Amino acid sequence: MANMIMRFPGGLPKALTLSYDDGVEQDERLIEIAEQNGIKGTFNLNSGAFAKEDVVYEPGTIHRRMSRSRVKEVYKNSSWEIAAHAYTHASLVGLPGNIATYEILQDRKELEETFGTFVRGFAYPYGAYDDASVEILKNCGICYARTVHSTHDFHLPTDWLRLPATCHHADPELMNLAKRFAEIKDWWDPMLFYLWGHSYEFEQFDNWGVIEEFCGYMANREDIWYATNIEIYDYCNAFSQLIFNTDMNMCKNPTSRGLWFSYGEKDVYVPAGNTVTF
Ligand SMILES: [Zn+2]
Protein backbone atom coordinates (compact mmCIF):
# COMPACT_ATOMS: atom_id res chain seq x y z
CA MET A 1 0.00 0.00 0.00
CA ALA A 2 1.11 3.53 -0.66
CA ASN A 3 1.28 6.17 2.07
CA MET A 4 -1.83 8.21 2.72
CA ILE A 5 -1.54 11.78 4.01
CA MET A 6 -4.44 13.99 5.01
CA ARG A 7 -4.36 17.34 3.21
CA PHE A 8 -6.00 20.55 4.36
CA PRO A 9 -8.65 22.42 2.30
CA GLY A 10 -7.52 22.97 -1.27
CA GLY A 11 -5.09 20.04 -0.92
CA LEU A 12 -2.64 22.12 1.16
CA PRO A 13 0.00 20.33 3.26
CA LYS A 14 0.28 22.90 6.10
CA ALA A 15 -1.93 24.88 8.47
CA LEU A 16 -1.19 27.86 10.71
CA THR A 17 -3.24 29.07 13.65
CA LEU A 18 -2.89 31.48 16.58
CA SER A 19 -4.34 31.28 20.12
CA TYR A 20 -4.45 34.37 22.39
CA ASP A 21 -5.92 34.65 25.86
CA ASP A 22 -7.80 36.94 28.27
CA GLY A 23 -9.58 39.45 26.01
CA VAL A 24 -7.26 42.41 26.50
CA GLU A 25 -7.19 45.74 24.65
CA GLN A 26 -4.00 44.83 22.79
CA ASP A 27 -5.94 42.13 20.89
CA GLU A 28 -7.20 44.86 18.59
CA ARG A 29 -3.70 45.57 17.32
CA LEU A 30 -2.95 41.87 17.11
CA ILE A 31 -6.00 41.33 14.88
CA GLU A 32 -4.83 44.14 12.63
CA ILE A 33 -1.31 42.74 12.25
CA ALA A 34 -2.48 39.17 11.70
CA GLU A 35 -5.29 40.04 9.29
CA GLN A 36 -3.05 42.28 7.20
CA ASN A 37 -1.11 39.10 6.56
CA GLY A 38 -4.13 36.86 6.02
CA ILE A 39 -3.53 35.08 9.34
CA LYS A 40 -6.14 34.30 11.97
CA GLY A 41 -6.75 32.25 15.07
CA THR A 42 -8.73 32.04 18.27
CA PHE A 43 -9.31 34.33 21.24
CA ASN A 44 -9.94 32.66 24.59
CA LEU A 45 -12.17 34.83 26.77
CA ASN A 46 -13.42 34.97 30.37
CA SER A 47 -16.96 36.32 30.11
CA GLY A 48 -17.30 36.65 33.91
CA ALA A 49 -14.21 38.86 34.08
CA PHE A 50 -14.94 41.50 31.45
CA ALA A 51 -14.06 45.02 32.60
CA LYS A 52 -16.81 47.40 33.75
CA GLU A 53 -18.28 49.40 30.88
CA ASP A 54 -16.90 52.66 32.28
CA VAL A 55 -13.50 51.23 33.23
CA VAL A 56 -10.58 53.65 33.45
CA TYR A 57 -7.19 52.05 34.03
CA GLU A 58 -4.38 53.55 36.09
CA PRO A 59 -1.63 54.85 33.79
CA GLY A 60 0.92 52.08 33.23
CA THR A 61 -1.58 49.22 33.56
CA ILE A 62 -0.58 46.56 31.05
CA HIS A 63 -3.22 43.85 31.56
CA ARG A 64 -6.33 45.79 30.44
CA ARG A 65 -9.35 43.57 29.98
CA MET A 66 -12.05 44.92 27.70
CA SER A 67 -15.70 45.47 28.62
CA ARG A 68 -18.41 43.29 27.11
CA SER A 69 -19.48 45.92 24.57
CA ARG A 70 -15.89 46.61 23.51
CA VAL A 71 -15.16 42.88 23.24
CA LYS A 72 -18.18 42.50 21.02
CA GLU A 73 -17.11 45.35 18.81
CA VAL A 74 -13.48 44.26 18.51
CA TYR A 75 -14.04 40.58 17.71
CA LYS A 76 -17.37 40.52 15.97
CA ASN A 77 -16.14 41.78 12.63
CA SER A 78 -12.92 39.80 12.73
CA SER A 79 -12.46 36.38 11.19
CA TRP A 80 -11.23 34.93 14.49
CA GLU A 81 -12.89 32.23 16.58
CA ILE A 82 -14.15 32.94 20.09
CA ALA A 83 -13.38 30.22 22.66
CA ALA A 84 -13.81 29.85 26.41
CA HIS A 85 -11.08 30.32 29.04
CA ALA A 86 -13.15 29.74 32.26
CA TYR A 87 -15.79 32.20 33.46
CA THR A 88 -13.62 33.95 36.07
CA HIS A 89 -10.23 32.66 34.87
CA ALA A 90 -10.16 30.15 37.75
CA SER A 91 -7.79 27.20 37.48
CA LEU A 92 -9.93 24.10 36.93
CA VAL A 93 -7.56 21.93 38.94
CA GLY A 94 -8.66 21.64 42.55
CA LEU A 95 -12.13 23.11 42.03
CA PRO A 96 -15.11 20.99 43.09
CA GLY A 97 -16.63 19.36 39.99
CA ASN A 98 -19.81 21.44 40.07
CA ILE A 99 -17.83 24.68 40.24
CA ALA A 100 -15.42 23.66 37.47
CA THR A 101 -18.47 22.77 35.37
CA TYR A 102 -19.96 26.20 36.05
CA GLU A 103 -16.68 27.94 35.10
CA ILE A 104 -16.74 26.23 31.70
CA LEU A 105 -20.42 26.14 30.92
CA GLN A 106 -21.30 29.66 32.10
CA ASP A 107 -18.38 31.05 30.08
CA ARG A 108 -19.53 29.11 27.03
CA LYS A 109 -23.15 30.22 27.49
CA GLU A 110 -22.40 33.94 27.90
CA LEU A 111 -19.92 33.99 25.02
CA GLU A 112 -22.48 32.27 22.80
CA GLU A 113 -25.06 34.89 23.79
CA THR A 114 -22.63 37.75 23.23
CA PHE A 115 -21.44 36.59 19.82
CA GLY A 116 -24.49 34.64 18.59
CA THR A 117 -22.33 31.65 17.76
CA PHE A 118 -21.27 28.21 19.00
CA VAL A 119 -18.38 28.16 21.46
CA ARG A 120 -16.63 24.79 21.43
CA GLY A 121 -12.96 25.56 22.15
CA PHE A 122 -11.15 26.19 25.43
CA ALA A 123 -7.75 27.24 26.79
CA TYR A 124 -6.80 26.16 30.32
CA PRO A 125 -6.33 29.14 32.68
CA TYR A 126 -2.70 29.08 33.89
CA GLY A 127 -2.25 26.03 31.65
CA ALA A 128 -3.49 23.88 34.56
CA TYR A 129 -5.40 20.68 33.85
CA ASP A 130 -5.88 17.14 35.07
CA ASP A 131 -7.95 14.12 34.03
CA ALA A 132 -11.00 15.41 35.93
CA SER A 133 -10.95 18.76 34.04
CA VAL A 134 -10.78 16.92 30.72
CA GLU A 135 -13.86 14.85 31.62
CA ILE A 136 -15.80 17.97 32.61
CA LEU A 137 -14.83 19.78 29.38
CA LYS A 138 -16.10 16.81 27.37
CA ASN A 139 -19.41 16.89 29.23
CA CYS A 140 -19.72 20.61 28.48
CA GLY A 141 -19.38 19.92 24.75
CA ILE A 142 -15.87 21.34 24.42
CA CYS A 143 -13.97 19.76 21.50
CA TYR A 144 -10.43 20.93 22.14
CA ALA A 145 -8.53 22.55 25.02
CA ARG A 146 -5.12 24.22 24.76
CA THR A 147 -2.37 23.67 27.31
CA VAL A 148 0.82 25.73 27.60
CA HIS A 149 3.15 22.94 26.51
CA SER A 150 5.39 23.62 23.51
CA THR A 151 6.29 20.78 21.19
CA HIS A 152 8.69 22.62 18.86
CA ASP A 153 7.28 20.44 16.12
CA PHE A 154 4.43 20.43 13.59
CA HIS A 155 2.44 17.27 14.25
CA LEU A 156 -1.32 17.44 14.61
CA PRO A 157 -2.43 16.86 18.19
CA THR A 158 -3.19 13.27 19.14
CA ASP A 159 -5.29 14.43 22.11
CA TRP A 160 -7.34 17.53 21.32
CA LEU A 161 -8.38 18.02 24.95
CA ARG A 162 -4.72 18.23 25.98
CA LEU A 163 -3.67 20.27 22.98
CA PRO A 164 -0.04 21.49 22.99
CA ALA A 165 1.26 24.43 20.95
CA THR A 166 4.24 24.54 18.64
CA CYS A 167 5.55 27.39 20.82
CA HIS A 168 4.80 30.66 22.63
CA HIS A 169 5.63 33.83 20.69
CA ALA A 170 8.40 34.69 23.18
CA ASP A 171 10.16 31.41 22.51
CA PRO A 172 13.71 32.17 21.32
CA GLU A 173 13.22 29.43 18.71
CA LEU A 174 10.17 31.16 17.16
CA MET A 175 11.70 32.31 13.88
CA ASN A 176 13.85 29.18 13.51
CA LEU A 177 10.70 27.07 13.84
CA ALA A 178 8.88 29.35 11.39
CA LYS A 179 11.67 28.93 8.84
CA ARG A 180 11.75 25.17 9.29
CA PHE A 181 7.97 25.05 8.83
CA ALA A 182 8.00 27.25 5.75
CA GLU A 183 10.92 25.53 4.06
CA ILE A 184 9.97 21.85 4.52
CA LYS A 185 8.49 20.47 1.34
CA ASP A 186 7.78 16.76 1.43
CA TRP A 187 6.77 15.94 4.98
CA TRP A 188 5.10 12.59 5.62
CA ASP A 189 2.38 14.11 7.79
CA PRO A 190 0.01 17.08 7.67
CA MET A 191 1.84 19.98 9.32
CA LEU A 192 0.43 22.41 11.89
CA PHE A 193 2.12 25.53 13.29
CA TYR A 194 0.26 26.49 16.46
CA LEU A 195 1.34 29.75 18.13
CA TRP A 196 0.01 31.01 21.46
CA GLY A 197 0.46 33.93 23.83
CA HIS A 198 -1.13 37.04 25.34
CA SER A 199 -1.16 40.20 23.27
CA TYR A 200 -0.49 42.40 26.34
CA GLU A 201 2.98 40.84 26.47
CA PHE A 202 3.88 42.75 23.29
CA GLU A 203 3.22 46.00 25.15
CA GLN A 204 4.81 44.76 28.38
CA PHE A 205 8.08 43.87 26.63
CA ASP A 206 7.76 46.51 23.93
CA ASN A 207 8.21 43.90 21.21
CA TRP A 208 5.32 44.12 18.75
CA GLY A 209 8.06 43.53 16.18
CA VAL A 210 8.08 39.84 17.17
CA ILE A 211 4.57 39.20 15.91
CA GLU A 212 4.95 41.58 12.97
CA GLU A 213 8.03 39.68 11.80
CA PHE A 214 6.39 36.29 12.33
CA CYS A 215 3.17 37.19 10.50
CA GLY A 216 5.03 38.94 7.69
CA TYR A 217 7.25 35.90 7.19
CA MET A 218 4.38 33.39 7.25
CA ALA A 219 2.05 35.45 5.03
CA ASN A 220 0.97 34.71 1.46
CA ARG A 221 2.32 31.19 1.19
CA GLU A 222 0.60 28.93 -1.26
CA ASP A 223 1.03 25.77 0.79
CA ILE A 224 -0.40 27.10 4.10
CA TRP A 225 -4.04 27.05 5.19
CA TYR A 226 -4.63 30.05 7.51
CA ALA A 227 -7.33 28.94 9.94
CA THR A 228 -8.86 29.28 13.38
CA ASN A 229 -8.42 26.50 15.93
CA ILE A 230 -11.95 25.15 15.49
CA GLU A 231 -11.69 25.16 11.69
CA ILE A 232 -8.70 22.85 11.97
CA TYR A 233 -10.42 20.66 14.55
CA ASP A 234 -13.58 20.41 12.42
CA TYR A 235 -11.61 19.56 9.29
CA CYS A 236 -9.65 16.78 11.04
CA ASN A 237 -12.83 15.46 12.63
CA ALA A 238 -14.61 15.34 9.27
CA PHE A 239 -11.59 13.66 7.70
CA SER A 240 -11.71 10.88 10.28
CA GLN A 241 -15.18 9.99 8.98
CA LEU A 242 -14.03 9.09 5.44
CA ILE A 243 -14.90 5.54 4.46
CA PHE A 244 -12.51 3.45 2.29
CA ASN A 245 -13.00 0.11 0.53
CA THR A 246 -10.57 -2.77 1.07
CA ASP A 247 -8.93 -2.37 -2.35
CA MET A 248 -8.20 1.22 -1.30
CA ASN A 249 -9.40 2.75 -4.56
CA MET A 250 -12.80 4.04 -3.50
CA CYS A 251 -13.66 6.61 -0.86
CA LYS A 252 -16.95 7.90 0.47
CA ASN A 253 -17.27 11.25 2.21
CA PRO A 254 -20.39 11.21 4.41
CA THR A 255 -19.72 14.71 5.77
CA SER A 256 -20.96 18.11 4.64
CA ARG A 257 -17.53 19.44 3.60
CA GLY A 258 -15.00 18.69 0.85
CA LEU A 259 -11.97 16.68 1.99
CA TRP A 260 -8.50 16.17 0.51
CA PHE A 261 -5.73 13.59 0.83
CA SER A 262 -2.80 12.24 -1.10
CA TYR A 263 -2.35 8.52 -1.64
CA GLY A 264 1.01 7.58 -3.08
CA GLU A 265 1.40 9.84 -6.10
CA LYS A 266 -2.28 10.68 -6.30
CA ASP A 267 -3.93 13.81 -4.97
CA VAL A 268 -7.54 13.05 -4.19
CA TYR A 269 -10.45 15.41 -3.54
CA VAL A 270 -13.69 13.98 -2.20
CA PRO A 271 -16.58 16.45 -2.42
CA ALA A 272 -19.09 16.59 0.43
CA GLY A 273 -21.52 13.69 0.38
CA ASN A 274 -19.78 12.06 -2.63
CA THR A 275 -18.03 8.80 -3.42
CA VAL A 276 -14.94 8.90 -5.64
CA THR A 277 -12.67 6.24 -7.17
CA PHE A 278 -8.95 6.95 -7.38
ZN1 LIG B 1 -5.48 33.55 30.82
Are the C-beta atoms of 188 and 52 separated by less than 8 Å?
A: no
**Distance of CA 90 from the midpoint of ligand 1 (Å):** 9
Q: Report d(CA 254, CA 230) in Å as an integer.
A: 20
**Distance of CA 146 from the midpoint of ligand 1 (Å):** 11
What per-residue confidence (pLDDT) applies to 77?
A: 82
**Distance of CA 246 from the midpoint of ligand 1 (Å):** 47
Are the C-beta atoms of 263 and 4 separated by less than 8 Å?
A: yes
**Distance of CA 7 from the midpoint of ligand 1 (Å):** 32
What per-residue confidence (pLDDT) applies to 187?
A: 82
What per-residue confidence (pLDDT) applies to 78?
A: 87
Which of the residues in the chain have pLDDT under 70? none
Task: Judge if pTM exceeds 0.75.
Answer: yes
Nearest CA to 145 out of 84, 89, 103, 90 is that of: 84
What per-residue confidence (pLDDT) applies to 176?
A: 98
Rounded to the nearest 10 degrees, the angle between the axes of helix 68-76 and helix 27-36 is 0
